[in-house]
Amino acid sequence: MNTEPPRRKPASAQDIKVTTGSESTLGLEMMAWVEVHKQKLMVAGAVALAVIIAAVIYNHYTAQREMQASEALLALRAPIIGENRGKTAPSDKLLALAEGFAGTTAGRHALLQAGEALYLEGKYDQARSVFQRFVTENVGHPLVPQAELGMAACLDAAGKRKEAIEAYDLVRKRWAMEGAVVSQAKLALGRLYEAEGKLEQAHGMYLEILESMKTGFNTWAMEAQMRLAALEKAHPALKDARLQKMAAAAAAQQPRPQNVITLTNVNVNAPKPAPAPAPAPAKK
């Protein structure tokens, strides 16, 4: 008896079924899409590569230009020793640097320094125009308050007292958080108010500067202190008024006594009420 298991028949080509899943279908579709859009993809890749190369070149050019501008400005720096020690660079050279390196950090600083140089040269109208240009071209720059203070100083130096007072007052209100700039503006206002005979307003400006000593002392506070002392010496009434305000403020800050009974509308001469009659003895 034959006990061997029956042999399986080899599979034929008809018995083999090839199935394709969703992954295979998606891959074929992607290949077909790439083949159709091959030209567009090549163009897009070339454009992207060109943009990257341009950005790299621009950044390199910008960095090089910033470095050249910084070196040029450093070359104009006043020497530390010698006859020209501390001397400001000529305004024309600073303006040329600002024009040649416009848009750079050093170019902006050169423009602001050009305004300062023109001011020191006595060219107040030109200096004010340069400061105004800096403000217009650099909105939001941290040195804008300094430039606006320079504009007010130019009006002051040119003898335009009314316009200078308005400009200083605008700086004082607009840049209240800029301590150094505000102190200079208030000091200038105090001086101009004295010249105008507005002594109380000048006195108030000096006091406001001294109030800033609570958060940080500066050189302008020292000058304000000297001006305040001279003003009060010449006009003692201003000092008396200041001391009275200080005394009133100190009294207002004193703590009020606790648990104190205040008697009001009590007539001490009023007759005392008659004593109540004694109770009758109880009956037995």
Per-residue model confidence as pLDDT tens digits over 153-174: 999 999 999 999 999 999 999 9
Q: Verify that 180 and 234 share a domain, yes or no.
A: yes
Confidence check: pLDDT of 254 > 60: yes
Q: Is pLDDT of 199 > 90?
A: yes
Count how many domains the chain has: 2
* Burial class (CB within 10 angstroms; exposed 0-12, middle 13-18, buried 19+) of 3: exposed
| CATH number, residue 192 | 1.25.40
User: What pLDDT is attached to residue 13?
Assistant: 47
φ, ψ for residue 220, nearest 5 deg: -70, -30
- Compare 240 and 152 and report the one with higher pLDDT: 152
Question: Are 111 and 169 members of one domain?
Answer: no
Q: Please check whether residue 177 lies inside any domain of the structure.
A: yes
28-47 residue pLDDT tens: 777 777 677 777 767 766 66
The pLDDT-based confidence of 16 (bands split at 50, 70, 90) is very low
The predicted pLDDT at position 4 comes to: 57
Residue 118 lies in a domain: yes
Q: Check residues 58 and 62 and name the one with the higher pLDDT.
A: 62
221 in the same domain as 181: yes
Q: What pLDDT shows up at residue 247?
A: 85
Q: Is residue 66 part of a domain?
A: no
The answer to the question of residue 263 being in a domain is: no
Does 127 share its domain with 174?
Answer: no
Residue 14: inside a domain: no
Predicted local distance difference test score (pLDDT) of residue 76: 78
pLDDT tens per residue across span 171-188: 999 999 998 899 999 999
The Cα–Cα gap between 169 and 181 comes to 12
Indicate whether 123 and 204 sit together in one domain. no
Instruction: Using pLDDT thresholds of 50, 70 and 90, give the confidence band for residue 251.
Output: confident
Same domain, 164 and 217: yes
Q: Give the pLDDT of residue 69.
A: 74
| Spatial contact of 114 and 130, defined as CB atoms under 8 Å apart | yes
**pLDDT greater at residue 26 or residue 258:** 26
pLDDT of residue 133 exceeding 90: yes
Residues 201-214: tens digit of each pLDDT: 999 999 999 887 76
Quick one: which H or E segment has residue 148? helix 144-157
Residue 18 pLDDT: 47
Is residue 54's pLDDT more than 70? no
Give the pLDDT confidence of 85-98 residue by residue, as tens digits.
667 788 999 999 99
Task: Count the neighbouring beta carbons within 10 Å of the beta carbon of residue 106.
Answer: 21
187 located within any domain: yes
The band of 12, judged by pLDDT with boundaries at 50, 70 and 90, is low
d(CA 9, CA 15) in angstroms, rounded, equals: 11
**C-alpha to C-alpha distance for 56 and 237, rounded to whole angstroms:** 70
243 with 164, same domain: the answer is yes
Picking from 138, 172, 201, the residue at the C-terminal end of a domain is 138
Mean pLDDT of the chain: 80
- Expressed in angstroms, the distance from the first to the final Cα of the chain is 145
Give me the domain span that covers residue 205.
160-249
In a domain, 154, yes or no: no
173, part of any domain = yes
The answer on pLDDT for 9 being more than 70 is: no
* pLDDT at 103 exceeding the cut of 80: yes
Predicted confidence at residue 228, as pLDDT, reads 94
User: What pTM, to 2 d.p., does this model score?
Assistant: 0.68
232 plus 193 within the same structural domain = yes
Residue 79's pLDDT is what? 65
